[in-house]
Amino acid sequence: MRGEGHAIRDPAAMPRLALALLIIALLWPGFRLTEFDLGVLLDPRNRETMGRFVATFFPLATSHEFLQLVLKSTLETLAIATAGMALAMLVAAPLSLAVSRSLSMSRVGPGPGRLAGTAARLPARFVLMFFRSIPEIVWALLFVRAVGLGPAAGVLAIGVTYGGMLGKVYSEILESNDTRPAVALLESGGGRLGAFFYGMFPVALPELVSYTVYRWECAVRASVIMGFVGAGGLGQQMELSMRMLNGGEVSTILLTFLLLVVLADAVSALLRRITQ
Protein backbone atom coordinates (compact mmCIF):
# COMPACT_ATOMS: atom_id res chain seq x y z
CA MET A 1 0.00 0.00 0.00
CA ARG A 2 1.31 3.45 -0.86
CA GLY A 3 1.90 5.95 1.88
CA GLU A 4 -0.49 8.84 2.26
CA GLY A 5 2.27 11.29 1.39
CA HIS A 6 2.97 9.67 -2.00
CA ALA A 7 1.09 11.12 -4.98
CA ILE A 8 -0.59 8.69 -7.33
CA ARG A 9 1.12 8.85 -10.71
CA ASP A 10 -0.56 8.14 -14.02
CA PRO A 11 1.62 5.65 -15.93
CA ALA A 12 0.25 6.96 -19.23
CA ALA A 13 1.03 10.62 -18.44
CA MET A 14 4.30 10.76 -20.34
CA PRO A 15 2.99 9.03 -23.50
CA ARG A 16 0.00 11.40 -23.51
CA LEU A 17 2.28 14.40 -23.09
CA ALA A 18 4.51 13.18 -25.92
CA LEU A 19 1.44 12.67 -28.13
CA ALA A 20 0.16 16.16 -27.33
CA LEU A 21 3.54 17.71 -28.19
CA LEU A 22 3.64 15.71 -31.43
CA ILE A 23 0.17 16.96 -32.41
CA ILE A 24 1.19 20.56 -31.69
CA ALA A 25 4.37 20.13 -33.73
CA LEU A 26 2.34 18.78 -36.65
CA LEU A 27 -0.29 21.54 -36.40
CA TRP A 28 2.24 24.38 -36.41
CA PRO A 29 3.16 24.07 -40.12
CA GLY A 30 -0.55 24.04 -40.91
CA PHE A 31 -1.08 27.34 -39.11
CA ARG A 32 1.89 28.79 -40.97
CA LEU A 33 0.57 27.64 -44.36
CA THR A 34 -2.85 29.16 -43.69
CA GLU A 35 -1.29 32.46 -42.53
CA PHE A 36 -3.37 32.26 -39.37
CA ASP A 37 -2.71 35.31 -37.20
CA LEU A 38 -4.99 36.43 -34.36
CA GLY A 39 -3.18 39.76 -34.25
CA VAL A 40 -4.63 40.71 -37.65
CA LEU A 41 -8.15 39.91 -36.44
CA LEU A 42 -7.72 42.02 -33.31
CA ASP A 43 -6.15 44.97 -35.12
CA PRO A 44 -8.15 48.17 -34.31
CA ARG A 45 -8.62 49.10 -37.97
CA ASN A 46 -9.88 45.64 -38.85
CA ARG A 47 -12.25 45.65 -35.88
CA GLU A 48 -13.61 48.99 -37.01
CA THR A 49 -14.13 47.67 -40.54
CA MET A 50 -15.97 44.61 -39.23
CA GLY A 51 -18.07 46.81 -36.95
CA ARG A 52 -19.18 49.00 -39.87
CA PHE A 53 -20.03 45.90 -41.89
CA VAL A 54 -22.11 44.35 -39.09
CA ALA A 55 -23.89 47.68 -38.52
CA THR A 56 -25.33 47.47 -42.04
CA PHE A 57 -27.29 44.39 -40.94
CA PHE A 58 -29.59 46.47 -38.74
CA PRO A 59 -32.47 47.11 -38.67
CA LEU A 60 -33.84 43.84 -40.00
CA ALA A 61 -35.98 43.88 -43.14
CA THR A 62 -39.53 43.14 -42.03
CA SER A 63 -41.70 44.29 -44.91
CA HIS A 64 -44.66 42.04 -45.69
CA GLU A 65 -43.53 41.39 -49.26
CA PHE A 66 -40.01 40.45 -48.23
CA LEU A 67 -41.19 38.15 -45.41
CA GLN A 68 -43.44 36.34 -47.87
CA LEU A 69 -40.45 35.89 -50.15
CA VAL A 70 -38.35 34.57 -47.24
CA LEU A 71 -41.11 32.12 -46.27
CA LYS A 72 -41.28 30.79 -49.82
CA SER A 73 -37.48 30.45 -49.95
CA THR A 74 -37.46 28.72 -46.55
CA LEU A 75 -39.99 26.12 -47.68
CA GLU A 76 -37.95 25.68 -50.84
CA THR A 77 -34.80 25.12 -48.79
CA LEU A 78 -36.50 22.49 -46.63
CA ALA A 79 -37.87 20.81 -49.75
CA ILE A 80 -34.41 20.75 -51.36
CA ALA A 81 -32.81 19.22 -48.27
CA THR A 82 -35.57 16.65 -47.72
CA ALA A 83 -35.91 15.58 -51.36
CA GLY A 84 -32.13 15.48 -51.72
CA MET A 85 -31.81 13.24 -48.66
CA ALA A 86 -34.54 10.93 -49.98
CA LEU A 87 -32.59 10.59 -53.23
CA ALA A 88 -29.36 10.10 -51.26
CA MET A 89 -30.91 7.25 -49.27
CA LEU A 90 -32.04 5.59 -52.49
CA VAL A 91 -28.45 5.80 -53.72
CA ALA A 92 -26.84 4.77 -50.43
CA ALA A 93 -29.02 1.82 -49.41
CA PRO A 94 -28.14 -0.62 -52.24
CA LEU A 95 -24.52 0.49 -52.43
CA SER A 96 -24.00 0.10 -48.67
CA LEU A 97 -25.45 -3.40 -48.83
CA ALA A 98 -23.18 -4.18 -51.77
CA VAL A 99 -19.97 -3.09 -50.00
CA SER A 100 -20.83 -4.43 -46.54
CA ARG A 101 -18.78 -7.55 -45.87
CA SER A 102 -21.08 -8.44 -42.98
CA LEU A 103 -23.67 -9.61 -45.50
CA SER A 104 -21.20 -11.59 -47.59
CA MET A 105 -21.41 -15.36 -47.72
CA SER A 106 -17.62 -15.38 -47.39
CA ARG A 107 -18.10 -14.02 -43.86
CA VAL A 108 -19.40 -17.46 -42.89
CA GLY A 109 -16.13 -19.05 -43.87
CA PRO A 110 -13.59 -19.45 -46.68
CA GLY A 111 -14.96 -20.62 -49.97
CA PRO A 112 -14.47 -20.50 -53.73
CA GLY A 113 -16.48 -17.30 -54.05
CA ARG A 114 -14.40 -15.25 -51.63
CA LEU A 115 -12.26 -13.44 -54.22
CA ALA A 116 -15.23 -12.96 -56.52
CA GLY A 117 -17.19 -11.31 -53.69
CA THR A 118 -14.30 -8.98 -52.90
CA ALA A 119 -13.97 -8.02 -56.57
CA ALA A 120 -17.72 -7.41 -56.83
CA ARG A 121 -17.62 -4.98 -53.92
CA LEU A 122 -14.85 -2.84 -55.44
CA PRO A 123 -17.01 -1.07 -58.10
CA ALA A 124 -19.64 -0.11 -55.51
CA ARG A 125 -16.93 1.14 -53.15
CA PHE A 126 -15.40 3.21 -55.97
CA VAL A 127 -18.80 4.75 -56.82
CA LEU A 128 -19.27 5.78 -53.19
CA MET A 129 -15.79 7.32 -53.08
CA PHE A 130 -16.38 9.17 -56.36
CA PHE A 131 -19.73 10.59 -55.25
CA ARG A 132 -18.47 11.91 -51.91
CA SER A 133 -15.05 13.11 -53.13
CA ILE A 134 -16.58 15.96 -55.17
CA PRO A 135 -18.08 18.77 -53.02
CA GLU A 136 -21.80 19.32 -53.32
CA ILE A 137 -21.33 22.87 -54.58
CA VAL A 138 -19.35 21.51 -57.56
CA TRP A 139 -22.12 19.01 -58.28
CA ALA A 140 -24.59 21.91 -58.01
CA LEU A 141 -22.64 23.91 -60.60
CA LEU A 142 -22.71 20.89 -62.91
CA PHE A 143 -26.42 20.24 -62.47
CA VAL A 144 -27.27 23.92 -62.89
CA ARG A 145 -25.75 23.63 -66.35
CA ALA A 146 -27.75 20.46 -66.99
CA VAL A 147 -31.22 21.31 -65.61
CA GLY A 148 -31.00 25.09 -65.28
CA LEU A 149 -31.32 27.42 -62.31
CA GLY A 150 -33.61 26.29 -59.53
CA PRO A 151 -34.15 23.75 -56.77
CA ALA A 152 -33.79 20.67 -59.00
CA ALA A 153 -30.04 21.23 -59.25
CA GLY A 154 -29.77 21.39 -55.46
CA VAL A 155 -31.76 18.19 -55.01
CA LEU A 156 -29.52 16.31 -57.45
CA ALA A 157 -26.32 17.70 -55.91
CA ILE A 158 -27.35 16.68 -52.39
CA GLY A 159 -28.58 13.31 -53.60
CA VAL A 160 -25.28 12.43 -55.26
CA THR A 161 -22.87 13.80 -52.64
CA TYR A 162 -24.79 12.68 -49.58
CA GLY A 163 -25.53 9.34 -51.23
CA GLY A 164 -21.79 8.67 -51.20
CA MET A 165 -21.47 9.80 -47.58
CA LEU A 166 -24.47 7.85 -46.35
CA GLY A 167 -23.41 4.71 -48.21
CA LYS A 168 -19.97 4.73 -46.60
CA VAL A 169 -21.23 5.31 -43.07
CA TYR A 170 -24.18 2.92 -43.47
CA SER A 171 -21.79 0.11 -44.41
CA GLU A 172 -19.53 0.93 -41.45
CA ILE A 173 -22.52 0.92 -39.07
CA LEU A 174 -23.67 -2.43 -40.42
CA GLU A 175 -20.20 -3.92 -39.98
CA SER A 176 -19.52 -2.44 -36.52
CA ASN A 177 -22.77 -3.61 -34.89
CA ASP A 178 -23.47 -7.13 -33.61
CA THR A 179 -23.48 -9.25 -36.77
CA ARG A 180 -23.98 -12.64 -35.11
CA PRO A 181 -27.73 -12.84 -35.89
CA ALA A 182 -27.05 -12.06 -39.57
CA VAL A 183 -24.20 -14.59 -39.73
CA ALA A 184 -26.45 -17.21 -38.14
CA LEU A 185 -29.10 -16.59 -40.80
CA LEU A 186 -26.50 -16.86 -43.55
CA GLU A 187 -25.14 -20.09 -42.08
CA SER A 188 -28.63 -21.56 -42.02
CA GLY A 189 -29.07 -20.88 -45.73
CA GLY A 190 -30.83 -17.51 -45.60
CA GLY A 191 -30.29 -14.85 -48.25
CA ARG A 192 -28.54 -11.51 -47.86
CA LEU A 193 -31.78 -9.50 -47.75
CA GLY A 194 -33.31 -11.78 -45.13
CA ALA A 195 -30.13 -11.58 -43.04
CA PHE A 196 -30.22 -7.81 -43.35
CA PHE A 197 -33.88 -7.21 -42.47
CA TYR A 198 -34.10 -9.77 -39.66
CA GLY A 199 -30.53 -9.92 -38.35
CA MET A 200 -28.90 -6.51 -38.84
CA PHE A 201 -31.48 -3.81 -39.50
CA PRO A 202 -33.21 -3.91 -36.06
CA VAL A 203 -29.85 -3.66 -34.29
CA ALA A 204 -28.45 -0.89 -36.48
CA LEU A 205 -31.67 1.15 -36.81
CA PRO A 206 -30.97 3.72 -34.02
CA GLU A 207 -27.51 4.54 -35.40
CA LEU A 208 -28.78 4.64 -38.99
CA VAL A 209 -31.57 7.06 -38.06
CA SER A 210 -29.24 9.20 -35.95
CA TYR A 211 -26.70 9.62 -38.73
CA THR A 212 -29.36 10.14 -41.40
CA VAL A 213 -31.01 12.93 -39.41
CA TYR A 214 -27.63 14.51 -38.75
CA ARG A 215 -26.95 14.48 -42.49
CA TRP A 216 -30.37 16.03 -43.08
CA GLU A 217 -29.31 18.91 -40.82
CA CYS A 218 -26.14 19.23 -42.91
CA ALA A 219 -28.25 19.13 -46.08
CA VAL A 220 -30.29 22.10 -44.85
CA ARG A 221 -27.08 24.09 -44.43
CA ALA A 222 -25.66 22.83 -47.72
CA SER A 223 -28.82 23.82 -49.61
CA VAL A 224 -28.33 27.39 -48.42
CA ILE A 225 -24.73 27.43 -49.65
CA MET A 226 -25.67 25.91 -53.00
CA GLY A 227 -28.21 28.68 -53.48
CA PHE A 228 -25.27 31.00 -54.16
CA VAL A 229 -24.66 29.16 -57.44
CA GLY A 230 -28.30 29.29 -58.49
CA ALA A 231 -29.71 26.16 -56.85
CA GLY A 232 -32.65 28.04 -55.30
CA GLY A 233 -33.76 28.43 -51.69
CA LEU A 234 -32.58 30.85 -49.04
CA GLY A 235 -29.04 30.88 -50.40
CA GLN A 236 -30.12 32.30 -53.73
CA GLN A 237 -32.20 34.97 -52.01
CA MET A 238 -29.27 35.85 -49.73
CA GLU A 239 -26.96 36.14 -52.72
CA LEU A 240 -29.37 38.58 -54.36
CA SER A 241 -29.66 40.66 -51.17
CA MET A 242 -25.88 40.78 -50.74
CA ARG A 243 -25.44 41.79 -54.36
CA MET A 244 -27.86 44.68 -53.74
CA LEU A 245 -25.91 45.57 -50.53
CA ASN A 246 -29.08 45.24 -48.45
CA GLY A 247 -27.76 44.21 -45.04
CA GLY A 248 -31.20 44.28 -43.41
CA GLU A 249 -32.46 41.59 -45.75
CA VAL A 250 -29.32 39.53 -45.19
CA SER A 251 -29.76 39.64 -41.40
CA THR A 252 -33.42 38.57 -41.72
CA ILE A 253 -32.36 35.60 -43.86
CA LEU A 254 -29.60 34.71 -41.37
CA LEU A 255 -32.12 34.77 -38.52
CA THR A 256 -34.42 32.52 -40.55
CA PHE A 257 -31.53 30.16 -41.16
CA LEU A 258 -30.83 30.04 -37.41
CA LEU A 259 -34.45 29.09 -36.77
CA LEU A 260 -34.13 26.36 -39.42
CA VAL A 261 -31.14 24.86 -37.60
CA VAL A 262 -33.08 24.94 -34.31
CA LEU A 263 -36.00 23.17 -36.03
CA ALA A 264 -33.68 20.55 -37.50
CA ASP A 265 -32.12 19.92 -34.09
CA ALA A 266 -35.58 19.49 -32.51
CA VAL A 267 -36.65 17.04 -35.22
CA SER A 268 -33.39 15.14 -34.76
CA ALA A 269 -33.91 14.82 -31.00
CA LEU A 270 -37.51 13.66 -31.50
CA LEU A 271 -36.58 10.96 -33.99
CA ARG A 272 -33.76 9.71 -31.78
CA ARG A 273 -36.19 9.31 -28.88
CA ILE A 274 -38.66 7.42 -31.07
CA THR A 275 -36.09 4.94 -32.40
CA GLN A 276 -34.34 4.21 -29.12
Report pLDDT digits (tens) over 111-131.
Answer: 445 555 566 678 878 888 888
Q: What is the CATH number of domain 64-275?
A: 1.10.3720.10
CB 151, CB 231: distance < 8 Å: yes
pLDDT tens for residues 66-95? Answer: 888 888 888 888 888 889 899 999 998 888
Over residues 224-254, the pLDDT tens digits come to 787 777 777 788 888 888 888 788 888 888 8
Residue 275 vs residue 131, higher pLDDT? 131
* Mean pLDDT, rounded, for 192-211: 75
Average pLDDT over residues 191-206: 72
pLDDT band at 215 (very low <50, low <70, confident <90, very high): confident
Give pLDDT, residue 90: 92
Residue scoring higher pLDDT (84 or 35): 84
- Sorted by where each begins, the domain ranges of the chain are 64-275
Q: Give the 3-state DSSP-derived string for 45-114, with helices as H, strands as E and coil as C.
A: HHHHHHHHHHHCCCCCCCCHHHHHHHHHHHHHHHHHHHHHHHHHHHHHHHHHHHHCHHHCHHHCCCCCCH
Q: Does pLDDT of 35 surpass 80?
A: no
